Structure 1
C-alpha cells in the first residue's frame, strides 16, 4: 500500500498503519540503536516517543534523509520508586555513554517526576502521572502522541492514543485537552518550515 494512502482513515486500517510504522522504524538504524540501548538498560515503562518517530515517517513519506529535521530523540520512562534528580541524571548519563554520538540529541526524562519541575519551567501546573503512556495525552498536538519500544524477540510495540492517521496524512492536529496553544503554534511554525507538505489544523478551528 502506498504510504500516503495510510493517512486516509477510510482507505486503510490502523493495523496497516501500525505495520507501516513498524517497517519504517525497524529499517532506520539510528532509531534501532536507541531502542536497543533503552532495552539493554532495562528502564521501567520506557519508550522512544514523539518527533524522532513521527518525523522519521514524514521523511519516508517525502523522500528525505531519515534524520532530516529531527531536533532530538525523546526517551521517556516511568520510575516512581526514586523521584530524585540524581536518579534521573544517572539514567541520562548511562544513555549518553551508550550513544555518545547522539548525546546532544537525546532527551531522557522520568515521567514520574515531571510534575515536580514542570510548573517552574513552563508556568503551568502538571498533574502527577501514573504511567509513561499517560504523558502522550498531554502533548500539544495529537499528531505527536506516538511511542515505540522493543518487545520480546525483537518485535516493535507501538502506542498512539489518538491514532496514526494524522502522522501519515502529515496533518498537525491540536490537542485541545491541554492549555498549550503557544507550544502548538511554535512547533507548527518550525515544522512547516522544514516540511512544507505539512497541513496545520488551526487551534481555533477544531
Structure 2
C-alpha cells in the first residue's frame, strides 16, 4: 500500500457512515464488491477541507460482479442489501451488478458501454479520475483500494475528464454538483471536440 492509499484508508476508517456500509456489506458475501464513487472521493474532500465526515454524501454506490445478468438475480441482491440496513442507510446504498451495466448504460446515458470483466474495470470508465476510486473492507480488516488513475486528483481536489473516454454527457452536471458542495475544487475542462 502506498502513502496515498494508506492516507485514503485512514480517511475511510474515520468516516462512521462509510465504515458502517463497508462492514455491513462485507458480511453479505457478495462477489467482487466495492463501494466507490461519491462516498469515497467525497470523504477525501471532506478530510482535505476540514468538513465533517459525511458532509455532502448523498448515497453509497455499491458495485459487485455476478455473471448472472438477469434482472431477477440483481433484484434479489438489491433486496438482500436493503434488508441488511436500517434507515437512512437502507435508502442510501445503491447496488448495481457490474456484469449488467452494458445492458442498460447506452439507453440511460446515450453512450456505448462494453461488457466488464470485473468490478474494478468499471472504475476506468468513470467520468473523472477523481471519481474512479473504490474501496473494500477485506476479511482481515484491511481496506483495499482500486484507483486506475491513481489518487493524485482526488487528494488534489482536481476534476478533469477521464482521458480514456469521450467527454461524458453528464460532465457539466457532475461539475456543478461537486463545486456547489466543494467550491475549493479545481476544474480542468475537457478539450473542445
TM-score range, shorter chain: over 0.9
Deviations 1:4-51 (A, max 9, x none): xxxxxxxxxx81111111111112111111111221111110000011
- TM score, norm. by length of structure 1: 0.88
Q: Given that residues 167 and 190 in structure 2 are in contact (C-alpha distance below 8 angstroms), is that contact kept between their aligned partners in structure 1?
A: no
Report the secondary structure of 1:69's partner residue.
coil
Deviations 1:51-108 (A, max 9, x none): 100101111111112111112110001111x111111111111111111221222110
Report the secondary structure of 1:149's partner residue.
strand
Partner residue, 1:158: 145
Higher relative contact order at CA 8 Å, sep ≥6: structure 1 or structure 2? 1
Q: Does 1:40 align with 2:27?
A: yes
Partner residue, 1:94: 80
Q: How many aligned positions are there?
A: 191
Give how far 1:198 is off: 0.5
Question: Which structure 1 segments of 5+ residues have no match?
Answer: 1-13
Q: Does 1:195 align with 2:182?
A: yes
Q: Which has the higher helix share?
A: 1
Question: Which structure 2 segments of 5+ residues have no match?
Answer: none
- TM score, norm. by length of structure 2: 0.94
Residues 12-161 of structure 1 aligned to structure 2 (within 5 Å): 15-80=2-67, 82-101=68-87, 102-161=89-148
Give how far 1:179 is off: 2.4
Report the secondary structure of 2:140's partner residue.
helix
CA-atom RMSD in angstroms: 1.4
- Shift >6 Å, 4+ stretches: none
